[in-house]
Amino acid sequence: MNIDGVEVSGNGEMFREIGDINLAYMLLAQKLVKQDRAAAMFRLGIGAELADLLASMTLAQIVKLASSNLLLCSFRLEDNPMFAVMGHQKEGALQQAHMSILMAARQQAAVATAGAA
């Protein structure tokens, strides 16, 4: 199979790569939660219940979950304001601050929506 000029030898290789990404993501997420729970919840866009679950998972549980052929992480830059910020030539620190503000506002809106439901 050829995708955008890159040869992919069947789904097996792609599923292994997805598993590798999942494992790296889960291990990083758990490390973040254990080091600074509040910051991890913000950076990962997760709630307290999921943060507690991540912190308590064993390595065996993480490996089993990571072996899924579905990506466990997702892009959070799914709207135009986020991409617009990334496309402008701004100083690195200013661009990062702008992204943080947009993401915090988005997370706050999601929390408010969930609370209203």
Residue range 11-25, pLDDT digits in tens: 788 999 999 999 999
Position 45 scores a pLDDT of 85
- Count the alpha carbons within 13 Å of 52 in the hemisphere toward its beta carbon: 3
Same domain, 87 and 117: yes
- 13 plus 23 within the same structural domain: yes
Q: How far is CA 82 from the centre of its chain?
A: 15
Residues 61 and 88 in one domain: no
Asked whether 75 and 32 are in contact (CB, 8 A), the reply is no
pLDDT digits (tens, 9 = 90+) for 47-104: 999 999 999 999 999 999 999 889 998 776 655 565 565 556 556 676 667 666 666 6
Cα–Cα distance for residue pair 102/79, rounded to 1 Å: 10
Same domain, 112 and 62: no
Q: Structural domain tally of the chain?
A: 2
Per the structure, the complete domain to which residue 15 belongs is given by: 1-74
Are residues 81 and 40 part of one domain? no
- Shared domain check, 70 and 82: no
> 49 and 96 in one domain?
no
Smallest Cα–Cα separation from 102: which of 78, 82, 80? 82
Whether 63 and 99 map to the same domain: the answer is no
The overall pTM is greater than 0.85: no
56 shares a domain with 100? no
Pairing mode, strands 6-7 and 2-3: antiparallel
